[in-house]
């Protein structure tokens, strides 16, 4: 298995402009790609057997002021996963959709938009809400969003301390 992965990695390295590559396990590797080369990379990977898009997601690298977009592709024939990573600007996050390569990306991109605020040009539906309804704060999966604060503001909690002070032991039934 390691052999076929090394071959694939070599091929990928030859064809694509890979900034950095990382072996994660004997069935999985990651490549960093320039923002502009992702479409070419995905098209190429699809042509060599990575026919299934497993997930598109995003990581908020708040310390570097960047979002990292993650595309994970699955090669069913060889049993390999590839993680394609690219960095985009965090202040004005936008990117170009990949639905023309992987139609399945439609909802993943919509979710990334909802959770991180990344807009995807060319995927009109990505601007619509998906899981959340009437959302009134910054996108919730950004690192600077604190769910506890939001929850305390919106949803009242029971003051259990008072109850505890008055009782010890169990409940009589």
Partner 1 sequence: MNERKSFFAPVKAWKYLLKKPVTIKKEDVFDNPREASDQYRGFHQNDWDKCIGCGTCASICPTNAISMVEIASLKIEDGKKNERPALDYGRCSFCALCVDICVSDSLKMTKEYVHLSKDIDSFYFIPDINGIHNTQEKQGYVRDETSELLDLERVKMAHEDVSRKNSFIEIVKGYSMEMALAESARCVECGICTATCPAHMNIPEYIRSIYENDLKGAVTHLYKTNPLSNVCGRICTHLCEGACSLAVRGEAISIRWLKRYIVDNTPIEDYEEAVLSFVTEPVNGKVGIVGSGPSGLSAAYYLRTLGYEVDVYEKRAIPGGVISYGGPEYRLPEASVQKDIGMIKKTGVNFITNTKVGTDITLEQLKEKYDAVFLGIGFSLSRPLNIPGSDHKNVEYAIPLLAETRDYLRGSSKMPDVHEKVVVIGGGNVAFDVARTLLRLQIEKYGKVNVAMASLENRDILPADLEELEEGEEEGIIGSFGYGPEEIVVENNKIVGLKVNKVISIFDEDKRFNPKYDKTDSYVIEATQVYISTGQMPEYDMITDDMKEKMEIVRGKIITGEYGQVENLPWLFAGGDIVRGPDIINGVANGHDSAYGIDLYLQSKNK
Partner 2 sequence: MKEVKLFLGPQHPGMHGNYSVQMYVDGDIVKKARPTPGFLHRGFEKLMERRLWMGNLALIPRICVVEPDINEMVYAQGIEMLAKVEIPEKAHWIRMMILEMARLAIHIMGLGGIGGPTGLYTLTYWAIAQRDLILDLFEEITGARVYHMYIVPGGVRKQLPDGILEKLSELLDELEVKIPEYRELGLKHPIIHKRLKDNIMLPEDVVWEVGITGIGMRSATNKEYDLRKVQPYARYDQVEFDVPVANYSDALTRVNIKYKEIFQSIRILRQVIEKMPKEGEVRTKISTGSALRWKVPAGMVYSAIESSRGEYGYFIVSDGKEMPYRIAVRGASYPQGLLGIEKYLVDCRIDDASLWMDTMGVCSPEIDR
Partner 3 sequence: MVLENQDNRNLWEKIGDYFSANSIWMKWYCTGCGAIELPPTMTSRFDMERLGMGPMATPRQADVMLITGYLSTKTLRRVIYSYEQMQDPKYIVAFGSCTINGGVYYDSYATINQLDKYIPVDLYIAGCMPRPEAVMNAFADLISMIKKGQANGWRHYQENYEWYKKNQLDSLEEVIIHDEFHE
Q: Which residues bind partner 1 (CB under 8 A)?
A: 158, 160-161, 163-165, 167-173
User: Alpha-carbon distance 23 to 99, whole Å?
Assistant: 27
Tokens of 97: 């959709």
Q: Which does 36 bind (CB under 5 to 8 A by kind): partner 3, partner 1, partner 2, none?
A: none
In terms of phi and psi (left: phi > 0; alpha: psi -120 to 50; beta: otherwise), the region of 65 is left
Nearest residue (CB) to partner 1, 92 versus 160: 160
CB closer to partner 3 out of 76 and 135: 135
From candidates 63, 128, 144, 170, binder to partner 3 by CB under 8 A: 128
139-158 per-residue burial string, b: 16 or more CB within 10 A, e: under 16: bbbbeeeeeeeeeeeeeeee
Q: Which residues bind partner 3 (CB under 8 A)?
A: 125, 128-129, 131-134, 136-137, 140, 145, 147-148, 150-151, 154-158, 160
């Amino acid at each position: 298995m390691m052999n076929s992965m090394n071959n694939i990695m070599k091929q990928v390295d030859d064809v694509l402009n890979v900034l950095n590559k990382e072996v994660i396990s004997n069935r999985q590797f990651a490549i960093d790609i320039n923002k502009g080369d992702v479409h070419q990379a995905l098209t190429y990977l699809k042509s060599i057997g990575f026919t299934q898009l497993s997930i598109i997601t995003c990581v908020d690298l708040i310390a570097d002021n960047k979002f990292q977009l993650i595309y994970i592709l699955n090669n069913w024939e060889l049993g390999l996963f590839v993680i394609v990573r690219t960095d985009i600007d965090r202040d004005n996050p936008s990117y170009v959709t990949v639905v023309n390569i992987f139609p399945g990306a439609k909802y993943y991109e919509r979710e990334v938009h909802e959770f991180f605020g990344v807009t995807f040009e060319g995927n009109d539906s990505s601007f619509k809400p998906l899981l959340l309804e009437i959302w009134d704060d910054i996108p919730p999966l950004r690192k600077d969003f604190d769910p506890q604060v939001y929850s305390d503001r919106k949803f009242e909690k029971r003051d259990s301390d008072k109850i505890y002070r008055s009782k010890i032991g169990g409940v009589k039934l």
